[in-house]
Structure 1
Amino acid sequence: MNQLESLDLSSNNFSGIIPPSISALNFLSQLNLSHNKLSGKIPSGNQLQTLDASAFFYNDGLCGYPLSNCTNVTPAQGSFHGGNQDGNGDWFDDLWLYIGIASGFIVGFWMFIAFIMIKESRRMSYFRSIDRVYDWIYVKLVIYSARLKLILARRN
């Protein structure tokens, strides 16, 4: 990766800061990070100073050379309250999302099971409908299989 010459990451909806390690790419002659949601200061480096400003256009929070000077300070990469700079949010938010999804699935599943198990007529009609769908799919597969065999037999 150290000998990378061209990198186009435009229009990918990336957010956060540009990693400072990108300035270590000494052979980088073309870079395009435009049309993203990047913010913070553009890292300074040998090759990054020679790039055209259009490589960083349409990133509202981005500043530094070759764009305008930075007037605001962005939070640090690992700040707890600001979330991750890569747009993934806090791990705590993700944890609650997964807990909510799992509990919703469990409650919904057991409500469905209780609904069909409480009354015998519901249970019987549910399993009959599953049998009807299974039979319908089986018949369709047999018909299509027979048609396919007939078509292949006519070709030979």
Structure 2
Amino acid sequence: MNGTISESIGQLTELIELDLYGNSWKGVISENLLHNLTQLTDFYLSSTSNSLVFNARHDWIPSFSLETFAIRDCQLGPAFPSWLRTQVGVTDYIILSNVNILDAIPDLFWRSISPRYGLLLDLSHNQLRGELPKSINVGFNASIDFGFNRLEGGIPGSICSLPSLVLLKLSHNNLSAELSFQTFNDPSIYEGNPYLCGPPLTTNCSLGLVDTEDKAEEVEDEDGSEKFWLYVGMALGFILGFWAVCGTLIIKRSWRQAYFRLVDETKDKLLVFIAVYMARLRRKVARQMSKGTNVGQQ
């Protein structure tokens, strides 16, 4: 199905499940469409053309409580939706995959998760930043996918040791750690993280290829170096630009005279404009006062 999604869906106040998956939708969906759907428990949204925008206000508070919340291949980012934390307390099925989120995941989001059954959490194919949470309440038979993001730091042992976690994907991030987990020993879980080492990966930690502290220091040094050269470039640009203009005026007398003549002419024109405008304004005020006096005498 093609085209835009009709706002008339918002009039179906008894609607329980809204499935808009796998079509070539386009346009914008705002919170107005969902405002009256107070009975909604399952929400699925995707667009094969990746041109659909889910545009809810940052301070929006949904009026429903979702058990399933799935958005895929749409434009939701760049900020992580703060209103989502009001939903995750009862949500077992959360998909925000390929929705252009560039933000870090707030800690309040993790603290709000309290699934009734098993959590299915898919945040893959975004550009999420920050670190993995220290702990997640996942329920029974949980699945978590953080693949294809920009997450950094180590892998908390509290996550990988969760007995109820049956599926974990951390591939293609910037994670850095020495792996020592026995539960998840599939190399594909960790591939695409150049700073991970140890079994089940073939990278040998003893070669010194991975060191979290050294990596952090390198990143800080790179950031400091970039800032230093940025400031040097700005200073040089200002100096060169300043003297390119002022130096020319000092050296070339004809240019200096032309510059000051232009300044004087501009000043004179401005003064004349102000004088004419004030004179017109005074005449206008005088006419208004004269009309008011005549009306009062009549």
Q: What's the TM-score bracket when you normalise by the shorter of the two chains? A: 0.5 to 0.7
Q: How does 1:66-81 map to 2 (within 5 A)?
A: 69-72=169-172, 73-75=174-176, 79-81=216-218
Q: Would the alpha carbon gap of residues 97 and 62 (structure 1) be closer, same or farther in structure 2, given more than 3 Å must change?
A: closer
Greater helix share, structure number: 1
> Which of these two proteins has the greater Rg computed from alpha carbons?
2
Q: Would the alpha carbon gap of residues 131 and 71 (structure 1) be closer, same or farther in structure 2, given more than 3 Å must change?
A: same
- Partner of 2:175, secondary structure, is coil
Partner residue of 2:128? 38
Q: Is the 8 A contact 1:40 1:61 kept in 2?
A: no
Taking only aligned residues, the RMSD between alpha carbons, in angstroms, comes to 4.7
Structure 2 length-normalised TM:
0.33
- Deviation, 1:83, is 5.8
Structure 1 length-normalised TM:
0.55
- The amino acid of 1:79's aligned partner reads A
- Deviation, 1:46, is 5.6
Question: Alignment length, in residue pairs?
Answer: 134
Q: How does 1:20-35 map to 2 (within 5 A)?
A: 22-23=107-108, 26=111
Alpha-carbon distance in structure 1 between the residues aligned to 2:280 and 2:224: 54
Greater strand share, structure number: 2
Query: Structure 2: where are the runs of 5+ without partners?
Result: 1-57, 61-75, 80-99, 115-122, 140-146, 152-158, 160-164, 177-211, 290-298
- Partner of 2:169, secondary structure, is coil
Alpha-carbon distance in structure 2 between the residues aligned to 1:123 and 1:117: 7
Query: Residue 125 in 1 paired to residue 225 in 2?
Result: no
- The amino acid of 1:107's aligned partner reads L
Query: Structure 1: where are the runs of 5+ without partners?
Result: 1-5, 51-58
User: Cα deviation per residue 1:40-63 (whole Å; 9 max; x = unaligned)?
Assistant: 66525567x69xxxxxxxx95168
Larger RCO, structures 1/2 (Cα 8 Å, 6+ apart): 1
